Structure formats: structure tokens, C-alpha cells
Amino acid sequence: MQRTFCALSLLMLLCLTGCSTTPNDPALLTYDQSQLPPPDISLSIPGLGPCTDNPDRTLHLNSQQPVTVMVHGCHGSTGRFRALAEVMAFHGQQTACFTYDDRDSLMVSSGQLANSLDTLSAQLDNKEITVVGHSQGALIARKALVTDRPNPVQDKKMNLRLVTISGPFSGIASAEQCGSPTPFMMALTLGLVRPLCKVVSGDKWFEITSASDFIRQPGELLGQVRTHLKIDTDERGTCRRFNDAGTCVESDYVFSLDEQNQKPVDEAAVLKKVEIKAGHVEIVGDYRVVPVKLISLFQQYGILNPTEADRSAAFNRLLVKLYLADVSNTTQAATLDVKR
């Protein structure tokens, strides 16, 4: 019994997170912003800062230009999106990243994001804001932009676009025992299923299950949200890491398509839905893979500006530097070509 209980606890720790970590790297403290319009405002906004792990969280923005706000998944950091922020900066687009405690309630985190967006918009002459959320960040991003929530976004002049990537809008399947534990599971764990769930996941433990109102009642998007680009990833058979023999040693499968699909979310009038074959980390990129598929989608749907023909080679070199500089396998670098 004790061995079974310990195994269950370990399984919950592995399954409920569904996340990846990022190595500490001094390079995450900054990125090249030479192609951005010169900033004319400096802002200190709780929860918002540059897409780096720099302790200085002051935002330096051009108030006349649109802003893309990125929301990481659990166990993430602002540095998780540093490379993507530099990709956008290369194309002249400025970004900010939202930071939150991933053990907090998702309602609390989404409320913090809503407040941060209001504060940001108040300082901008150009109120075009795109909010991009990956994984758990997708849940937070969408919930921040619904009407029927405590303290919704107030600024009616905001012109919002929502982009969600690999979001488990139907709840996380591996967390189902937290929402509705079976009598067998309750007996097996001596009634400690839900306390264990809270230890593992924090205050969001119930919200990530299909039994929660957070999932069952996703809410109606604000009128200011003119479009929601929903990118669902078919993660079956994907791999995050291979050994030298070419054998997969770490799967990149985190959420099924069923977990990512939710009827009230998918039937929204402003929704544009895309399904793509990609791993959970692959889609946003890491130290082993360039997010070619995401970049192509972003350019196809106008989230990322087109790459000028005479800058294509420079852009490919940048992608190698950002994502593949420390990778011995140069196959992807040699064949890299973002379709534009």
C-alpha cells in the first residue's frame, strides 16, 4: 500500500505539471531591440515587464505602436519567451511579458493580467494589443478577456487580438482524479487525493479539472476582442529530446486534442481555429528546435510582420543563434527555411 501511494504521488507530480523548465542563462537578461521604434515611455506595471529574466522590470515602449503581450505556461518565466520576443523585435514589433505565480488560482492570475492590460492601455496612444498565451497561459489569457468575471477589463478603447496555443480548455485529463476522485482512489490514498492535488498544483488544483466552473463556463469574450486565433497542437508521437542513437528519451506529448477542444470556446463568433501537428514545446521553441511552424502561422494570420526578402538570410541566422546555438545536431540549422 505504501509503495502504491508513493507511486501515485510521483505520478501526480509528473502529470499535473505538464510543463518544462528553462535553463538559467545570462543571455536571457536581454535581446537585440535595434529594429524597434524608439521608446517614448517607461512603465512600471505590476505583472508586466520585458520578455527577459532581467530583475529590472521596467517597460520601455513606443506609445504610438502596437504591443504584443505574451503569457507563459506553468513553470515558465518571462525568459521563456525571450527568443520569440527577439523574433518579433527583428520585425519591428514590441512586446511585453506577463509574469505570475503558477501556483495561484487561475482566476487570480487572469484578474492580475486584466488589471495589467488596463494599466498598459491607459499609457498607450495606439491601443492595439495582442495577447498570446501558451499552455496554462492560454487559459489565463482568455479568462482575462471575458465579460463575466470579477473586475473585467475596463478600457473600451482597447483593440484586442487573442492568440492561444496548446491550451487545455476542456481541463487537464491527468488531473481528473482531483476533480472527481473515485471511491477506489479515495480509499487507496486514505482520502488524501484532494490535499495531494493542492500540494502538487497549488490553489489552481481544482480549476484545471473538467469539473470546475473555470473550465465549464469559459465565458464570453469582450467586445474589444476582434479575433481569437486558437492554435491546437496534435502532439501524438512527438518527441522533445533524442539521445545520440536517435531514440526518443523525452516525449513532447502533454495535451490531447480533446483536452484542447471546448465547445463554448470553439463556437465563439470571433474564433479562427488552426490544428497543427507539433509537440507541446516544439510549437513555441526551445534550445533544440526552432518554432518554424508557429512563426509561419503568425505571419500567415498577421500576428508577425512578413520578413522582407532581403532580410531572409539574416533572419535565418538569427533563428539559429536564438534556438540552435548550443545544439550539436545542425541538421535543422542547415535546412532551416521559414515559409513566408
Is the per-residue pLDDT at 292 higher than 70? yes
Burial of 15 (0-12, 13-18, 19+ CB in 10 A): middle
Average the pLDDT over 28-52 and give the result: 94
Q: Are 240 and 281 in contact (CB under 8 A)?
A: yes
pLDDT category at 199 given cuts 50, 70, 90 is confident
Burial of 2 (0-12, 13-18, 19+ CB in 10 A): exposed
How far apart CA 121 and CA 324 sit, in angstroms, is 35
pLDDT at 29: 83
| Three-class DSSP category at 55 | coil
Q: Are 269 and 221 in contact (CB under 8 A)?
A: no
Average the pLDDT over 131-158 and give the result: 96
Spell out the residues 6+ positions from residue 91 whose beta carbon is closer than 8 angstroms to its own. 35, 304, 305, 306, 307
Superfamily of domain 2-20+31-335: Alpha/Beta hydrolase fold, catalytic domain (3.40.50.1820)
Q: Are 51 and 97 in contact (CB under 8 A)?
A: yes
Average the pLDDT over 298-304 and give the result: 98
How far apart CA 36 and CA 86 sit, in angstroms, is 10
More confident residue, 64 or 339: 64
pLDDT at 194: 67
pLDDT at 216: 96
225-250 pLDDT per residue, tens: 999 999 999 999 999 999 999 999 99
Show me where the domains of the chain are located. Answer: 2-20+31-335
Average the pLDDT over 16-21 and give the result: 45
pTM above 0.85, yes or no: yes
Is the per-residue pLDDT at 334 higher than 90? no
